Amino acid sequence: MFAMHAPELSEAYPLRQDTIDQFRRDGFIHLRGVLTPEVLGRYEVEITDKVVELNTMHLPLSERSTYHKAFLQVANIWRKSAIAKELVFSRRLARIATELLGTKGVRLYHDQALYKEPGGGITPWHADQYYWPFESPATVTAWIPLQDTPVEMGPLSFASGTHRFPSFRNLSISDDSERLIQEAMDEEQFPYVERPFALGDVSFHYGLTFHRAPPNESKQPRKVMTIIYMDRDITVSEPANARGTRWAARAFRDDP
């Protein structure tokens, strides 16, 4: 039987000021032991079932674009599952996001499962906020692996400090974004941070931080749940591109 409403989802996770300072300097933070493996293992079962049920990509990997080789993605699972909603609406995770952003509170923008299949390709360099129609950069994504994620499985990797780098903000996830952003990262000498995740680790990154993921070279799917938060006082702007328009329509439907 699923253990509903695990206490750790609502209890505070202690953040030191130097950790908050590091997040704001680097544009991301990798936190250890945010959730227990036992609780995540139980949510993994439900989220995986919903990804299998709701995923609409069924082409073989060899017939997909670079974007669609990167992952299977299913958004707003909380609307389809009361169990998944418990994780997405975790007060612990929302409080971490609030403290990192330094805001009076956060609101949920959307959740998104990102499952990189065995043999799945790279997730090219990009910044999430390309897709989001907001006037402010006060957004943050929690990246929650649902299994131990060694480097060969394709953990999220970051270019440290790039939330302050103004170029290439107009690139969607593509072969071009991988090439052009990589060239810029090399030229500007932004540190590349790639490390494994233990089950229970969670990373948080700004919507403007450039990040990517290597391919999944293992024989197991890389299962990840993400939760995107925005400053509770953020204002919406006109979407800058067609992708942003579609994401805004999907995310704000039945806005919580």
pLDDT (tens digit per residue) in 222-232:
999 999 999 99
User: CATH number of the domain that 181 lies in?
Assistant: 2.60.120.620
Indicate whether 187 belongs to any domain. Answer: yes
Residue 41: helix, strand or coil by DSSP? Answer: helix
Tokens 């995740």 sit at which residue?
197
9 inside domain: no
Tokens of 122: 């790279």
- Does residue 10 fall inside a structural domain? no
Domains identified in the chain, total number: 1
69: Cβ contacts below 8 Å, ≥ 6 apart: 61, 120, 121
What is each CA distance from 199 to 40, 154, 176, 181, 196, in whole angstroms? Answer: 8, 14, 32, 30, 10
CA-to-CA distance for 70 and 212, rounded, in angstroms?
10
What pLDDT is attached to residue 7?
Answer: 86
Q: pLDDT in tens for each of the 256 residues of the chain? A: 344 567 899 999 999 999 999 999 999 999 999 999 999 998 999 999 999 999 999 999 999 999 999 999 999 999 999 999 999 999 999 999 999 999 999 999 999 999 999 999 999 999 999 999 999 999 999 999 999 999 999 999 999 999 999 999 989 999 999 999 999 999 999 999 999 999 999 999 999 999 999 999 999 999 999 999 999 999 988 776 565 445 444 555 544 4
The answer to whether position 12 is within a domain reads no
10 Å CB burial of residue 12 (0-12, 13-18, 19+) is exposed
| Cα–Cα distance, 134 to 69 (Å, whole number) | 28
Average pLDDT of the chain, as a whole number? 92
Range of the domain at 219: 20-252
Tokens of 248: 């805004």
- CA 219 → CA 12, 46, 48, 228, 243, distances in Å? 36, 21, 16, 28, 32
Residue 11 lies in a domain: no
Give the pLDDT confidence of 187-200 residue by residue, as tens digits: 999 999 999 999 99
Antiparallel, parallel or unpaired: β 72-75 and 106-116: antiparallel
Sole residue written with tokens 């499985």: 153
Query: Considering the domain boundaries, does residue 191 fall inside one?
Result: yes
Is residue 7 one of the residues assigned to a domain? no
pTM, full prediction:
0.92
Is residue 59 in some structural domain?
A: yes
Enter the DSSP assignment of 89.
Answer: T
